[in-house]
């Protein structure tokens, strides 16, 4: 299998996902050659088709149940992003059946989404794990809580945002993250450091979050948060990092953010623009060309972008495309001390992150119903997609559109095996 988490040239296998996949996919999508793409696709599929670490349940149920595997929410979300990367490779190579398989798996995050709270929550026996406190650190998440992992859908921000209620609601939830009390509940987790509200910069699952305001139509808030993180959570001292360097990611975030952009979705063509740290940065590209990011009137207080020009042409895009960067040229950013809320805020100005075909319908959830009961239990079913039809069986058979259609809560009075499916 492909490596998961390398340290000092040795595979440790200590973390989750199969994250050699985004590295390979990003190289392929960005035109970095020198390897056999067919063998690479075979290798990434091999890692994705194992049955260990919850993958058996992930492949059959569309999520990992928390009573079957620890850190089930984090694993489901990270597997889904890795699968999106495999889908991009397959699409580029004309492998249509592989693309269909993995682009559907890339949407399995939908099966953990709770439309009532907006958080990604664990599921146990078909129900949402309760009681629920988004600040609680427990074994449903990897070194994190629901606040810190519920924003991990880098492959499909558009549709996830729509599930939240739209761009305004995404921005509101981001505001809530940064404004929340920084105390966590549940078990002690030393890795959760560098807190701004419940945002935890010292542990890497949070690293894309500040840039999500770009996708929510409020890029000035990305500029605010990136500036705050750079100036308060990095210092020129032996203890100058707010968390574990983890093979270089803490520094990589700073290097990229200091240049003024960040790859929220590796294996895509888009970088989200933040706010630069330097008056001018020049990238010397391997093709012999140069790309410069120039920040006019930059100072400690002038970190908001008022206007931008790419190769002399005015643009309101709060993103930079890799394809444009590789052509060489210059991105000029005019900086000022107050936010320009018009820049980068309209439709079409945001980076693109959207799955556009082979949509799946989220699995139904048991919203109410006791697993163990004496005389009877009332069963209430629901789905994150309120337009979906829910079908169910009580005899252990697989449900289909020919099974009982759920229309209202029903009473169980004896032992049964409830199975459900949802269709749009």
Last residue of a domain, one of 127, 154, 183: 127
Q: What is the rounded distance in angstroms from the CA atom of residue 145 to the CA atom of residue 133?
A: 9
Let me know if residue 38 belongs to a domain. yes
* Environment class of 244 (CB within 10 Å of its CB; exposed 0-12, middle 13-18, buried 19+): middle
Query: pLDDT tens, 266-318?
Result: 999 999 999 999 999 999 999 999 999 999 999 999 999 999 999 999 999 99
pLDDT of residue 344: 97
User: Distance (Å, rounded) from C-alpha 338 to C-alpha 356?
Assistant: 36
| pLDDT at site 233 | 97
Residue 204 domain-assigned? no
Mean pLDDT score across all residues of the chain: 96
Residue 74 lies in a domain: yes
Residue 383 sits in which domain range? 365-423
User: Degrees (nearest 5) of the Cα angle 14, 20, 24?
Assistant: 170
Q: State the pLDDT at residue 380.
A: 97
Q: Mean pLDDT throughout 50-79?
A: 97
Question: What stretches of 93-235 show up as alpha helix (H) in DSSP?
Answer: 96-105, 146-149, 157-164, 167-179, 219-233
**What number is the average pLDDT over the span 64-90?**
98
Is it the case that residue 250 has pLDDT exceeding 90? Answer: yes
In a domain, 415, yes or no: yes
pLDDT score for 9: 87
Domain's final residue, options 127, 151, 170: 127
Q: Does the residue 329 lie in any domain?
A: no
The pLDDT-based confidence of 247 (bands split at 50, 70, 90) is confident
- Tell me what pLDDT residue 14 has: 85
pLDDT at position 5: 86
The reply to whether 140 falls in a domain is no
| Per-residue b or e along 196-217, where b marks 16 or more CB atoms closer than 10 Å to that residue's CB | bebbbbbbbbbbbbbbbbbbbb
Domain finish residue from 111, 127, 143: 127
277 inside domain: no
Q: How many domains are there within the chain?
A: 2
92: helix, coil or strand?
helix
Q: pLDDT digit string (tens) for 362-401?
A: 999 999 999 999 999 999 999 999 899 999 999 999 999 9
CA separation for the pair 18, 58 (Å, rounded): 14
Does residue 251 register a pLDDT over 90? yes
Question: Which strands, in side-by-side order, build the sheet including 270-273?
Answer: 261-262, 270-273, 319-321
In this prediction, residue 6 has a pLDDT band, given cuts at 50, 70 and 90, of confident
Domain presence at residue 88? yes
**According to the model, what pLDDT value does residue 227 have?**
98
pLDDT tens, position by position, 183-234: 999 999 999 999 999 999 998 889 999 999 999 999 999 999 999 999 999 9
pLDDT confidence tier of residue 29, bands split at 50, 70 and 90: very high
Give me the DSSP letters along 7-20: ETTEE---SSS-TH
Q: Which residue carries 């789905």 as its tokens?
A: 383
């Amino acid at each position: 299998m492909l490596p998961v988490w390398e340290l000092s040239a040795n595979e440790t296998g200590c973390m989750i996902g199969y994250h050699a996949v985004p590295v390979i996919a990003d190289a392929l999508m960005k035109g970095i050659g020198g390897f056999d793409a067919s063998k690479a696709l075979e290798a990434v599929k091999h890692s994705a088709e194992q049955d260990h670490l919850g993958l058996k349940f992930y492949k059959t149920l569309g999520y990992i149940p928390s009573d079957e595997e620890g850190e089930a929410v984090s694993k489901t979300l990270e597997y889904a992003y890795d699968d999106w990367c495999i889908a991009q490779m397959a699409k580029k190579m004309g492998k249509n059946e592989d693309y269909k398989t993995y682009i559907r798996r890339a949407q399995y995050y939908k099966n953990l989404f709770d439309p009532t709270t907006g958080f990604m929550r664990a599921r146990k026996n078909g129900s949402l794990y309760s009681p629920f406190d988004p600040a609680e650190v427990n074994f449903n998440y990897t070194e994190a809580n629901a606040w810190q992992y519920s924003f991990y859908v880098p492959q499909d921000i558009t549709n996830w945002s729509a599930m939240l209620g739209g761009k305004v609601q995404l921005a509101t939830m981001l505001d809530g993250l940064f404004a929340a009390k920084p105390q966590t509940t549940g078990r002690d987790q030393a890795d959760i450091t560098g807190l701004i509200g419940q945002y935890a910069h010292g542990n890497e699952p949070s690293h894309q979050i500040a840039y999500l305001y770009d996708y929510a139509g409020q890029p000035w808030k990305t500029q605010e948060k990136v500036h705050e993180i750079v100036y308060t959570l990095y210092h020129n001292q032996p203890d100058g990092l707010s968390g574990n360097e983890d093979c270089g990611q803490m520094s990589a975030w700073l290097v990229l953010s200091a240049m003024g952009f960040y790859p929220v979705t590796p294996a895509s063509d888009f970088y989200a623009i933040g706010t630069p740290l330097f008056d001018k940065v020049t990238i010397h590209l391997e093709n012999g060309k140069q790309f410069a990011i120039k920040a006019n009137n930059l100072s400690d207080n002038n970190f908001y972008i008022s206007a931008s020009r790419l190769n002399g042409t005015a643009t309101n895009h709060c993103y930079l495309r890799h394809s444009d960067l590789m052509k060489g040229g210059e991105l000029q950013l005019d900086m000022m001390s107050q936010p320009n809320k018009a820049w980068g805020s309209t439709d079409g100005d945001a980076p693109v992150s959207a799955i556009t075909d082979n949509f799946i319908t989220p699995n139904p959830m048991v919203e109410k119903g006791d697993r163990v009961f004496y005389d009877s239990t009332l069963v209430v079913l629901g789905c994150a997609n309120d337009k979906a039809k829910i079908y169910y069986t009580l005899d252990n058979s697989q449900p289909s559109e020919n099974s009982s259609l759920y229309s209202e809560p029903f009473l169980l009075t004896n032992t049964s095996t409830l199975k459900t499916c949802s269709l749009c």
